[in-house]
Structure 1
């Protein structure tokens, strides 16, 4: 996949929809009874990159504070959604050690993964930071996970929603009608090619999580060295 082309196409199509008010508002973000949970394998960006992202988010907050902005603690890159969040899933439904064993078999050590966060992309429901990988290690790990989980009877929903191939990070979700939409989109455009920095992750986390990866709901199950 040509990531730059993919991100650009996504940005162009989504901004057009937002301009014409054809965007999706998430009514469940503040719902106290949201019971959608799952398990996810993820990477957390460095604190330096997270702080750069907050500079961008702070500018958007000044224009429209009513949207959902990710805290540093919640910013992540999804390596693989092992069990996509659904209502009623509970950790006691599975044996985490069985999942940890399969993931260990799928991980590449000394993978030299490096991710560069540069520019903004969007979907009709959110704003994302573009992530670019400098080698194929992350996708090799993903393919190993696909193959290894396919050969088990464990509950999983890998690739059921979509086949993940990017390294983006969602940082804004729409939870209200956009105020000052023109200014909001101008600010996003001004960060279209902004360099948020690069980092080399040293581990991947397996977590039990809600839909938004809110820290108060996330339970770390295992940390894998890479």
Structure 2
């Protein structure tokens, strides 16, 4: 996949939709009845990168504080949704050591790799930081995970929603109707090609999480160093 072209097309189509008011607000963000949980293998960017993201988000907050902004504790890149969030999933339904062992096998020949965070893209439900892996290692890891889990008897939902190929990080979700759409989009355009810096991926986390990866509803299950 040509990520630059993919992000560009997504940005252009989504911005047009947002301009036309054709975007989705998430009605479950504030719902105490939301019990969707799953397990995810993810990457957490370092603090210096997340702090640069917060400078961008702070500008948006001044225009529209009603949207859902990710705090540093929740910012992540999804490597793979092993079990995508669904209503009623519990950890006691699975044998966690088996999942950890399979991930370790998938990582056995994986080296450290670099991701560059540069620019903004969007969807009809939120705003994302564009992530660009600097080699094919992330794709190799994802393919290892796909093969090993699909050849196992473990519960998994890999690629059931879509086949994950990007390295983006969602940092804002639309929670309400935009209060000042034009000014909001001006700031998005301002950061369209902004360099949020690169970082080396040295470890991954396996977490039990809700739909939004909120720290208060997540549990660290294992760390994997590479």
Whether TM exceeds 0.5 here: the answer is: yes
CA distance in 1, matches of 2:67, 2:109: 39
User: In 1, Cα distance between the equivalents of 2:97 and 2:126?
Assistant: 34
Aligned ranges 1:41-190 → 2 under 5 Å: 41-109=41-109, 111-190=111-190
CA separation in 2, counterparts of 1:108 and 1:79?
Answer: 16
**3-state secondary structure, aligned to 2:198:** strand
TM-score (norm 1): 0.99
Distance of 2:45 and 2:67 partners within structure 1: 22
1:108 deviation in Å? 4.5
- Say whether the 8 Å CA contact 1:24–1:125 is kept in structure 2: yes
Measured after TM superposition, the shift of residue 2 of structure 1 is 0.3
Give the match's secondary structure for 1:209: strand
Moved over 4 A (4+): none
Unaligned 5+ residue runs, structure 1?
Answer: none
Q: Aligned equivalents of 1:110 and 1:51: distance in 2?
A: 28
The question of whether the paired residues in 2 share the 8 Å contact of 1:107 and 1:141 is answered with yes
Instruction: Structure 2: state its 5+ residue gaps.
Output: none
1:160-197 alpha-carbon deviations (Å, 9 max, x no partner): 00000111000000000001000001100000000000
TM-score of the two chains, using structure 2 as the length reference: 0.99
**Residue in structure 1 matched with residue 10 of structure 2 by the alignment:** 10
- Cα distance in structure 2, aligned partners of 1:6 and 1:200: 23
Conserved? CA contact 2:110–2:141, under 8 Å: no
Give the Å deviation of 1:112.
2.7
Aligned to 2:25: 25
Conserved 8 A contact 1:108-1:137: no
